[in-house]
Amino acid sequence: MATLFATTMNACGQIDIVVANAGLQTTSFWDDNTNGNGELQEPDWQVIDTNLKGIMATVKLAHYYFQRNPRKGGRCVIIGSPDGYLRGSKRSGPYAEYVATEHGVLTPPISLFFN
């Protein structure tokens, strides 16, 4: 993703807007995967890596490049699920990791605004 931002900055001279959106939902995080010895293995972190770390990386890169625009600044739009506001629901089902990531994408704009 860093290459995408650098290429865009080099080609266009500035980055005015970035839209951060991710929405992967699985239930494999809660599967009890074991090795041949019956030991529990690391859970599937794909939802957290995509939905939370992906958004955070996008926001970080946007912030970095907005400060390097000829006229500093830009807009970063973060798109999340209603589950982030509602903290899950009966309709969400057993997707605690999904709800956690969607709630987590509320933090970057609030934190950056006040810092």
pLDDT of residue 71: 92
Under the banding of pLDDT at 50, 70 and 90, the label for residue 110 is low
For the record, the structure tokens of 32 come out as 């009890």
For the record, the structure tokens of 77 come out as 């739009």
* CATH number for the domain harbouring residue 86: 3.40.50.720
**Number of compact structural domains in the chain:** 1
Kind plus residue range of the DSSP H or E element containing 54: helix 54-66
Q: State the residue range of the domain holding 57.
A: 2-114
pLDDT in tens, 20-32: 987 787 767 888 9
Q: Please report where in the chains the tokens 């987590």 appear, as a residue.
A: 104
- Look at residues 1, 36, 38, 43 and name the one whose alpha carbon lies nearest to residue 18: 1
Top pLDDT among 39 and 82 is at: 39
